[in-house]
Amino acid sequence: MAKLKLAIVVGSNRRESINRKLAQALAKLGEGAFESSFVQIDDLPMFNQDLEPNRPEPTLRLKREIEAADAILIVTPEHNRAIPAVLKNAIDWASRPYGKSSWAGKVVAVTGTSGGAVGTAAAQQELRMIMTNLAGVVVGSQVFINYKDGMFDAEHNVTDETTHAFLKGFLDNVAKIAGRFAA
Ligand SMILES: Cc1cc2nc3c(=O)[nH]c(=O)nc-3n(C[C@H](O)[C@H](O)[C@H](O)COP(=O)(O)O)c2cc1C
């Protein structure tokens, strides 16, 4: 069976992003089921309706990549109990023009990591609400990862067995749902 196309969006523009590390580990863990690609969002201009008549190329690239995917995996930090501005900016660009949202009917899975005890739970809830409002098909999962140094090695492997099994289960579920929609 052909692999499912998974577009991964990391909601951070930080060079040493721990969410990018988690995303890279998920891309590796999911290699059996998915052909993964990373969606760049840090070069998008700040959304402004005035730019819409002549949309900048990175915003068109974003829509093409979302639309080509069988499923989207968003790995997001939490900023002040909400999603980071860089992620909201990308979501807004891909939701336009009105009536032609790239998110509609897309299978969207959500996770994220932070050093805090309730790592990204509030941001993920907000993100699920936004994606539901945009008519995405949100995978129902609760994957809040409390980041610890050494959790991922230099080859993007998950070092801890329990976390490995937990994340594998999450991806298996995403593959099951995305596979059904792709069929
Ligand atoms: C403006 C700002 C607000 C933050 N707010 C939260 C928060 O609400 N909850 C949380 O768990 N961590 C919060 N943090 C800490 C982030 O979890 C931490 O910076 C993390 O490394 C961000 O993920 P990244 O490395 O992938 O960018 C915040 C960080 C910043 C810069």
In this prediction the pTM is 0.97
For 36-101, give the secondary structure using H, E and C: EEEECCCCCCCCCHHHHHHCCHHHHHHHHHHHHCCEEEEECCCECCECCHHHHHHHHHHCCCCCCC
pLDDT score, position 183: 86
pLDDT score, position 136: 84
Query: Using a 6 Å cutoff on CB, does residue 80 contact ligand 1?
Result: yes
Q: Which two tokens stand for residue 29?
A: 């863990």
| Domain with residues 4-182, CATH architecture | 3-Layer(aba) Sandwich (3.40)
pLDDT above 90 (res 116): no
Confidence of residue 157 (pLDDT cuts 50, 70, 90): very high
CA distance 96 to 1: 33
Confidence of residue 118 (pLDDT cuts 50, 70, 90): confident
Residue nearest atom 20 of ligand 1, based on CA coordinates: 114
Rg (CA), the chain: 16
pLDDT digits (tens, 9 = 90+) for 88-112: 999 999 999 999 999 999 999 999 9
Q: How far is CA 62 from CA 22, 38, 92, 161, 162, in A?
A: 21, 11, 11, 35, 34
pLDDT digits (tens, 9 = 90+) for 8-42: 999 999 999 999 999 999 999 999 999 999 999 99
CA distance 28 to 39: 16
Residue nearest atom 22 of ligand 1, based on CA coordinates: 77
Ligand 1 centroid – CA 79 distance (Å): 5
Domain boundaries of the chain, sorted by first residue: 4-182
pLDDT score, position 27: 98
pLDDT digits (tens, 9 = 90+) for 48-90: 999 999 999 999 999 999 999 999 999 999 999 999 999 999 9
Residue nearest atom 17 of ligand 1, based on CA coordinates: 114
Tell me if residue 177 falls in helix, strand or coil. helix
Ligand 1 centroid – CA 50 distance (Å): 31
Query: Using a 6 Å cutoff on CB, does residue 17 contact ligand 1?
Result: yes
